[in-house]
Every structure is written in C-alpha cells, then in structure tokens.
Structure 1
Amino acid sequence: MVTPHLSYASGVSETPLLDETIGSQFDRTVAAFGERDALVDVPTERRWTYRELAEGVAAVALGLLESGVTKGDRVGIWSPNCAEWTLVQYATAKIGAILVNVNPSYRTHELEYVLNQAGVRTVVAMPTFKTSDYAAMLAQALPNCPTVKDVLLIGQDSWSELIETGFSSDRARLADIGAGLSPDDPINIQYTSGTTGFPKGATLSHHNILNNGFFVGELCHYTEEDRVCIPVPFYHCFGMVMGNLACTSHGGTMVIPGPSFDPKATLEAVAAERCTSLYGVPTMFIAELADPDFDSYDLSSLRTGIMAGSPCPINVMKQVIERMGMEEVSICYGMTETSPVSTQTRADDSLDRRVSTVGRVGPHLEVKVVDPVTGLTVPRGEAGELCTRGYSVMLGYWNQPEKTTEAIDAERWMHTGDLAVMDDEGYVSITGRIKDMVIRGGENIYPREIEEFLYTHPDILDAQVVGVPDAKYGEELMAWLRMKDGAEPLTTEAVHEFCRGKLAHYKIPRYVRTIDEFPMTVTGKIRKVELREIAVQQFGLGDAAPTPHG
C-alpha cells in the first residue's frame, strides 16, 4: 500500500543561521555600512546614518545601565512608532535587558497587568498620543506596580537626562557586557491579544527574532540599497522584526512614515524617501489604494514589500502588484509565538501562488498540517491545524508554564490554531481559524471562502463573514460589508441574489449589514469577535443556541 504524501515540509537552506546576538550583528552592519542611511523618522524630519544610529543606541544603552538596569531586567516601551522606539529596541539588546512591548491601545487596567506580569523595572513612554494620555495613565497605574523603579517620558527631561548620561559614559562597557550575552538569552516579551482572558507574554530570544528578520529579508532579496517603509506597529513583530531587524541585518534603511497608520502619510513617505519596499496588512493596502490622490504619488521606486497579518484578498493583491508596482511583493504568514514568520512566498512565485497561498516554509523551519483531534499529519490537500517547529518557536509564555505546554507540545511543535491546507508542492493556504470555523447544522463552513467570493462583487470594498448563534442550526452566517465610495449599501436580498447559484445554499449569509469601518486591533487585524457581539445585539440573538467555538 502506498503511503499518501503527507502535509509536512522543511526549509532547506545553504545560508546558515546567525549564531550571534542582535547587538553583535548590529555592530557588523555599522562597520560595513556606517555612512549609509539607517533610520528616517519622516514626521519629525530626523535621519540617522548607521554610525549616528550606533552612537544613539550606545547612549540609550549606557544611560539605562547608569540608571541601574542590568541583564535580564525588563524594560517596557509604551509608545506609537518613533525613532526612540528603535533606539530602545537595540539599546536593550546591547545590554541584555528584556524589552517588553506594551500595546499603545492599552488602558490602565491592561497596563497594570502587563507591568506586573512581566515584572517591569523601567518604562519608556510617549507622554501623549491622540486621545491617549500615557503619562497620566502611568501615574494612575504605578501605585499598583511595585516592580517599576523608573519612568522615562520621551521628549521630556527624564529622557534627555538619560541620553546625556549615556553620551558621557564609557562605551567600552558595552563591549564587556556584550561578551557575556548569549544568542539564546530572552530579549523580548510580546503580549498576544487573546480574545478571552488576559494576554500572554510570548518570550523571544536574540536567536528567535534576529534570524527571523534576517531570513524574511533574504527572501525579499534585501541589500544595503533597500529602503523599507514601515507603517505597521513596532510593538508587534511585523514592525520590529520583519521591519527593523530585516533592515539592520542587511544594511537597509528603516523609514517611519508616521506614529500610526495613515494612508496618505504612508504614500507620501514612499514617494519622498524612494522606498523600495512597503509593509502592511490588507486593510492598510486597501486604504492606500482607495486614497483619492493615489495616482498623484510617484511609487516607481517600489520593488517589493510584505502583506501579512490576516488573509489577503485576491483582488487587493493584484492591485498592489499592478497599481503600486510591487511586482515582488511577498505574502508572509506567522504568529508572535514564532517570531513571527513561518511561511513566505518568493519573488519568483507565480501570480497565482502569491494570491492564493501564504507560500512555502521558511529556511531552517518545519511545518506540518495535523488532524486537530488525533494530532496525526494529514495527507496533502486535506485541511487541518498548521504547526511550526524550529529556531523561531518562542522560549515560552513568560511565567506561564501551563499555557506554554498547551501551545507547544513535547516535540516542540507550536500549534497555531489556524486551519490550513498544504498542496503537493508544499504551498500552504490558510482556510481560517479553528475558532472561526462556522458549524451550521453539522456543515463545517470556512468564512474565508465566502469572503473571497464577496470580493468579486463590483461594489464591495471589503467583507468579513462571522458565525452568529441560531436556535435551529446552532450557527448562521453573517456578512459585514464595506462598500466602495459612491456605492449604495447592499440589501440582504441583493447579496442573496448575487450568491444564488454560485455558492451552496448553506454558505449564503443569512444576515447582511454594511459598516463604515471594521473594529480592529492596533496591528490592523479585524476583530471578528466584536463583529459577532454587535450582530448578537442588533439581531437579538442572545437567546439563540450559543456559538460552540466563539
């Protein structure tokens, strides 16, 4: 009997893993590309060469040392994107302190939890941004956070004094400290935004994130000539790993278009700084393409970029290639717990591969698709849960060994919770979250399939499909739609007519609503849980059968 080809793949590479710390790798880049642009903060009109950035990083690192921060201490950063964020990222790595990324959208209750759960010693924060008064929230939270010894507010005296102290300190200390650091040391804690309960702190090492940033950059063919526009948040792996570390490990330039995402500012930054690469989640690219002045921006410098964070609509991917000129744009897939990227499309992949899959396994990694019940690897072409193993898998959840064991099995496979299919050539397609799968009257329905179909409607800009409680079937489908400018909202009847004869009857959404903006996390992921909650309220479904996996 022939054993079926199983859904397992490993990433073969002639390029070895980097066996060094972030600090030592950064020093090598500075030595090689000292006079090239390293960092451009567009909104503040500041820019640094690699040599200048190294001096700034050293000043922050030495200032932290003088304030009492030592190897293993946790340093929290609570700020939107800015140059100081990057300085702190590399400064903490230089001295072996563990950077704790605090979500800029957090409020006092969540802030207290993270500061206490991680045992943060020092907090670096932007005083205010938009409607968030970080300084006031810190003042309110600190009496309940006994481990915090220092708060440094960017742009205020506490930050300036730290920099001044650092510049007057002996830089030789950093070399001595660096010699005592290991690539396997924990260097970063990132809190995953769980839909239930408190977030968990994914603990990542130099080895985890340096290599992931490097190999993502390798597959984008980065060199010192590349200039990467990074509108995605630094507090997330997308910004600080795929953005910053991919750049500094290749001598490229980090371009900050703004403190938070703004489509116009992003397009202006790409044009003004002649960026060769642009990052974003699908909703960001949708917003950029919809900008009324889109055709006025000179985007001819763009060659590549990364679209990730959530499933990428086919028509959006095609527009990114055709209208933005990003012919080598890459789809990346991963999660915070895997540093983050596990699979990636390559520049020479066909258009079909790049619009219908999340690519193949990355170098030095393994992926497999397993039956969620038995844990056995399924044959190619069958759906199951995607698992990842290799250098990128986190050390664990900070001080939560039980949660770590739930996510990483005894063989060190990280269970992603995502449903996937691997084809005969090893390309992976994400078909949804195990928790997003809708079970209607015993039929398993994957919202992604229906969303892709709805995108083909000429008036629909974006679509999200969720399961809502139903007394008869257990669950029913609901479609939330964003309409293109000038298009009239679609009625439920119109959507039914559009779907009829093209989708199986049980896949046609029973409920339809239009919405101006989807509720999103700060990383740009659409909060389907919130869409479900709104639907339950609007349609009075609270008394219906509970959603079994919502």
Structure 2
Amino acid sequence: MGVTRKEGDSSVPWVDGLTIGQVLQSTARRFPDDDAFVFCAASARMTWAEFDADVNRIARGLLGLGFVPGDHFGVWATNVPQWVLLQFATARIGVVLVNINPSYRASELAYALQQSDVRGLALIDHYKSSHFLDMLCQTCPELASASPGQLQSKAFPKLEWIIALRGNRQPYALMWDQLYSRGESVSQQRVEDIANALRPTDAINIQYTSGTTGHPKGAMLSHRNVLLNAFYAGRSQRLDHRDRICLPVPLYHCFGCVLGTMVCVVHGSAMIFPAESFSAEATLGAIEHERCTSLYGVPTMFIAELEHPDYPQRNLTSLRTGIMAGSPCPIELMKRVTEEMGANEITIGYGQTEASPLITQTRTDDPIELRVGTVGQTLPGFEAKIIDPDTGQELGDGVQGEFCGRGHGVMIGYYHMPDRTAAAIDADGWLHTGDLGMRQSNGYYRITGRLHDMIIRGGENIYPREIEERLYEHPAVEDVQVVGVPDRRFGEEVLAWVKLKRGDTATEAELREFCGESLSRFKVPRYWKFVERFPTTVTGKIQKFKIREQAITELGLHDIANIETA
C-alpha cells in the first residue's frame, strides 16, 4: 500500500493503507465544526467532531457487552441516525457489520440471521406496516423468556444481544441509551489499542445480494474495498468538505453505506438524509432547505422527483452533481436531470455489491453525450474486459459480451459460500458480473442487458426463482414462470405466468397475498396471467424471453421497452 499522502492532493488515494476508523478520525480533525450528518425526519444533526466522539462512545458500549474484532453485528432498520453511528462504531473496533434489508419479512430475516452468524442485532420497533420486533419474536420464540445478553436460540446459536433502537422497552432487549452506559467502564485507550491492531484488508461488512436459487449471498467487503471505492466515487464528482450529499437511497444497500456515508467521510462532505425511506417530497425539501450540491438515486427516484407536484416550486439551484445508478439509466432521463434539475455534473455509476460497488463511473468533465449515454470508464485501480460468455475469450470494441472487472473493489468472497465465490471470481481475480456490455473505442462502456434472468426493480435485485419457489408452495399452483417487464417508473416490474393444477382455482388477489406473507413487498408480482402452457423449445425448455415479448405486446409496453439506456 505505502501511498504517499499529501493533504489537498486528490491524485492519490490518501485512504489507502488506513482503516475506516482512522479515516473518520482524520476527517473529524480537519473539519470538526462542519456538518457530518443531518437526518431531516428525525431532526438530528451532528458535526464531524460530535460524530467521531459518539462513535467512540458506542464502540466502548459494544466492547462493554463483550464484542471483539471479528464478531458479526446486524442492523435491521430504515435510514435512522443510529444506523450510521453503528456502521462506524463497529468498524472502529473490527466488528463486522451485517446489513439487513428493512423490507425483509420473517422468513427472510431468519435466513439472514442464521447465515451471517450475527452475535448482536440492532433494530427499530416498526416503520409503516412493518413491525420489526414482532417479526423478530416470530422468528426467534426463545426471546419471550430471555433477558438482555442471555438469549439461547436453537436456530440462531450465536445470537446473544438485541439492541432496540427506539420504541418501548422490551425485557429481552437493551435500549439504545443503555448501550451508551455499558461503555462507561471501558477506557478509550482500549478502543485505540484495538483500532490500531486492525488491518485495512480485514473484512468489515457483509452485504446481502439476492441469489439465483432464492438464497441471498453475503458479500464480504474490507476497509480497503469500500474506502478506495468511496475515494474514487467522490473524486469523480469533484467533492470536498463544502459539498452536501442528499441521500434518499437506503443505508442497508451499498449505494447508501458506501457511495453515501463512506464517500462523505472520505471527502468531508455532509450526509443529508431526507426521510427514513424514499419520499420524493422529502427529497426535494431536503435539497432546498439543506442546500444540497449532490443528489443520489436510482432512476425511479429521479423520475418521481421530476414528476412530483412540488417540483416546479422547489429551489434546487444548489445542485451540481450526484450519482444515478442501481439499474439501467434512461438517456432521456439523464438529459432531464442535467438540463431541468440543474445537476449538470451528474454522473452514472455501474457496478455491483461484489465490487464494493462501482467498477465504472462517468466524470463531471466528460462530454455530455458520454455522461448521459455511457456508464463511464473504469475507476483507477480497476480494469474491465468484455468476454464471450461461452468461451471466455476477450472480445473487441463494439461487441456485446459479459462484463468482467478486476481490482481493489472486488469482494473478499461470499460468507460461508466457497463454491459460489469460485463461480463469481475466477482464478485470475476477475469478477464475472453476469451483465452484458460493450466497450466503445474511446474506453467508455455501455451495459446492454443481463446474462441471467434477474429483475432490477427500482434498484432492488430480484431473482425470479425466489418468487417461483414461493408460488410452488401454493396448493393450487402446478407451474409458474416469473419474468421482468419494462416499467417507466421502476425500470422493470415483476410478471408471473401461472398454470394451476387441474380442477383447482386461485385468484390473482389470493396469490398476491400468499406471496406477501413471506416475500418483501417489492418482490410480489405486479402483473399476473393464468395460462395453460408456456412457450418452449423443441426439447421442452421454457423460453422466458418469449413470455417477456408476449407480455410487452399484451400490456402495451413497447414504448417503454424501447427507451434507450446507458
């Protein structure tokens, strides 16, 4: 690593060779009185000095509970201040943060808790119609007779501590304020001793990404993975301590907790969170009131903001840049964001969780046609190639093939899944993304499709197999095929073709409710069709692409399907 670091010199990654805790300390020393974060809905605001001090207090609290480097700690919550504090407190003492999607239902939660070997779990009480504590107790009935730190569960043998981030006191949980008090007997010197023994290549985060079999895979990321990604992602936007990033994206996702929080810590920019979950109205209000200079989002978020009734009345003149990513970015939408919204230096990023997450990104000074029509060039320290998915042979410019990336962002591997890791990362260190793309002669890339049948709805990865397996559990369903169809707002929506067993009946409403009992809401199909047969090849293989083509015609989606993306 050994990189020469010179303050103010953005040509070298000053974060290389450091841990997340060391980077936060440096930023707090340089910009102590600048805003670190603002949570608009919670009316919470901290400077960098306050943030760093609070992170130390929480780190001491975790040590007081007995956590040690290498332990796993889950956070299951919406965008709340405690999420960010825990992210950096765990990193400071080498505890691995496990991100848990707040949309998970009880069965999905159970899988994540079991597979990740978490020793502690912090969660909110409820948000809208999701009752987190109720689902946790349903998942882990032993909580009914447990006291804080004394949980003994057959399904989750490593889980000991439950931290309630808000709500009424629960007999089995430690409240947030009690976590602070548990650290009063722990010296700050102990925190420093542990922090100084950590290595930048240590795993510090597990982020779940959906799997083709329906079981999510936990991508293990290191300090160095996320810090270098954050350094270059911020540099591509020309960020510094005067910038204020509006973050309507979820914290559990790499968009929020790497391109959001890590970018801000690396560059000293303020994190501005409009609401606990995405709200176009709250986002527009946050940009105006907090004078945000950068705006993040998946395409559907930008569409919702541009189409919101409040949009014409909002003063968004502070906007300069940002990142649009998470799903294919329509070129016309990029033009609107650039020309109408005022974010004339908006960038597009491409990558995936396994790459921490960005592999490519456009730059603020790229010509407009490249900034709206491509996903940019590789980040420094990354290389990419396009290969024939059948032969593995590298392809030339202008030829479509599988996009592969190699460099500092490639994950350590999938937690407890060596076979899946070997399938994703080859012997030469290349990450096989499963996305189709092509390289232009100028070194810029375009993403043209996907090798597999994954659906990306509003930035959420959905694997049809998970939904199909759920529907196969319904007693009336004989066969089912799930595909993605174009959608103007979300990029894609979920469609299910269902064949019922002879003599059995089921309605769309019944199947929709059945899916919603165990699947996150965004996975429940929007479109349904009951059929007697599926299109197949002569050998009997179902042709999902024909289902999609027929659905586009039947649903009148041709115009949306023809929207050009980068």
Counterpart CA distance in 2 for 1:381 and 1:368 is: 12
Deviates more, 1:109-118 or 1:338-347: 109-118
How far is the alpha carbon of 1:482 from its aligned partner? 4.9
Q: 1:165 to 1:430 in 2, by over 3 A?
A: same
**Aligned mate of 2:164, from 138, 153, 177:** 153
Deviates more, 1:127-136 or 1:89-98: 127-136
How far is the alpha carbon of 1:196 from its aligned partner? 3.2
**1:285 and 2:302 matched:** yes
Q: Secondary structure at the match of 2:163?
A: strand
How far is the alpha carbon of 1:167 from its aligned partner? 5.2
Which residue number corresponds to residue 454 of structure 1?
none
Q: Which amino acid aligns with 1:51?
A: A
Q: 1:197 to 1:480 in 2, by over 3 A?
A: closer
Q: After the TM superposition, which residues 400-479 of structure 1 pair with which residues of structure 2 at under 5 Å, given as runs?
A: 400-436=417-453
Q: 1:429 to 1:547 in 2, by over 3 A?
A: farther
Cα offsets for 1:388-421 (capped at 9, x unmatched): 1011000000011000000000001000000001
Q: Secondary structure at the match of 1:249?
A: helix
How far is the alpha carbon of 1:549 from its aligned partner? 6.3
Counterpart CA distance in 2 for 1:14 and 1:277 is: 21
Q: 1:418 to 1:478 in 2, by over 3 A?
A: closer
Which residue number corresponds to residue 535 of structure 2?
544
How far is the alpha carbon of 1:210 from its aligned partner? 1.1
Aligned residues: 462
Q: 1:32 to 1:548 in 2, by over 3 A?
A: same
Asked whether the 8 Å contact 2:250–2:277 carries over to 1, the reply is yes
Which residue number corresponds to residue 15 of structure 1?
12
Q: 1:206 to 1:479 in 2, by over 3 A?
A: closer
Counterpart CA distance in 2 for 1:179 and 1:403 is: 33
Q: Which amino acid aligns with 1:322?
A: E
**Aligned mate of 2:278, from 253, 261, 265:** 261
How far is the alpha carbon of 1:369 from its aligned partner? 0.5
**1:79 and 2:77 matched:** yes
**Aligned mate of 2:93, from 70, 95, 98:** 95
Which residue number corresponds to residue 8 of structure 1?
none
**Aligned mate of 2:49, from 51, 62, 68:** 51
Q: Which amino acid aligns with 1:300?
A: T
Q: Secondary structure at the match of 1:349?
A: coil
How far is the alpha carbon of 1:539 from its aligned partner? 5.7
Q: 1:338 to 1:248 in 2, by over 3 A?
A: same
Counterpart CA distance in 2 for 1:78 and 1:95 is: 20
Q: 1:526 to 1:121 in 2, by over 3 A?
A: closer
Which residue number corresponds to residue 235 of structure 2?
218
Counterpart CA distance in 1 for 2:354 and 2:77 is: 22
Scaled by the length of structure 1, the TM-score of the pair is 0.80
Asked whether the 8 Å contact 1:309–1:525 carries over to 2, the reply is no
Counterpart CA distance in 2 for 1:23 and 1:151 is: 24
Q: 1:411 to 1:170 in 2, by over 3 A?
A: same
Q: Secondary structure at the match of 1:172?
A: helix
Task: Give unmatched runs, 5+ long, in structure 2.
Answer: 1-9, 143-154, 170-174, 457-463, 465-480, 491-514, 546-566
Scaled by the length of structure 2, the TM-score of the pair is 0.78
Asked whether the 8 Å contact 2:244–2:270 carries over to 1, the reply is yes
How far is the alpha carbon of 1:163 from its aligned partner? 1.6
Quick one: higher RCO (CA 8 Å, sep 6+), 1 or 2? 1
Counterpart CA distance in 1 for 2:489 and 2:113 is: 41
Cα offsets for 1:54-84 (capped at 9, x unmatched): 1111111111110111100000000001111
Q: After the TM superposition, which residues 131-530 of structure 1 pair with which residues of structure 2 at under 5 Å, given as runs?
A: 131-142=129-140, 143=142, 144-156=155-167, 158-166=175-183, 169-436=186-453, 480=486, 482=488, 530=525
Asked whether the 8 Å contact 1:435–1:549 carries over to 2, the reply is no
Counterpart CA distance in 2 for 1:483 and 1:159 is: 38
Q: Secondary structure at the match of 1:25?
A: helix
Counterpart CA distance in 2 for 1:374 and 1:483 is: 37
Counterpart CA distance in 1 for 2:334 and 2:488 is: 18
How far is the alpha carbon of 1:137 from its aligned partner? 1.2
Cα offsets for 1:308-354 (capped at 9, x unmatched): 00011111111101111001000000000000000000111111111
Q: Secondary structure at the match of 2:180?
A: helix
Counterpart CA distance in 1 for 2:237 and 2:486 is: 34
How far is the alpha carbon of 1:166 from its aligned partner? 2.9
Q: 1:542 to 1:253 in 2, by over 3 A?
A: farther
Q: 1:147 to 1:352 in 2, by over 3 A?
A: same
Counterpart CA distance in 2 for 1:542 and 1:83 is: 51
How far is the alpha carbon of 1:160 from its aligned partner? 1.0
Which residue number corresponds to residue 58 of structure 2?
60
Aligned-residue Cα RMSD (Å) equals 2.6
Q: Secondary structure at the match of 2:119?
A: strand
Cα offsets for 1:454-487 (capped at 9, x unmatched): xxxxxxxxxxxx9xxxxxxxx9x99655599xxx
Q: 1:56 to 1:203 in 2, by over 3 A?
A: same
Cα offsets for 1:290-320 (capped at 9, x unmatched): 0012111110000101000001111111110
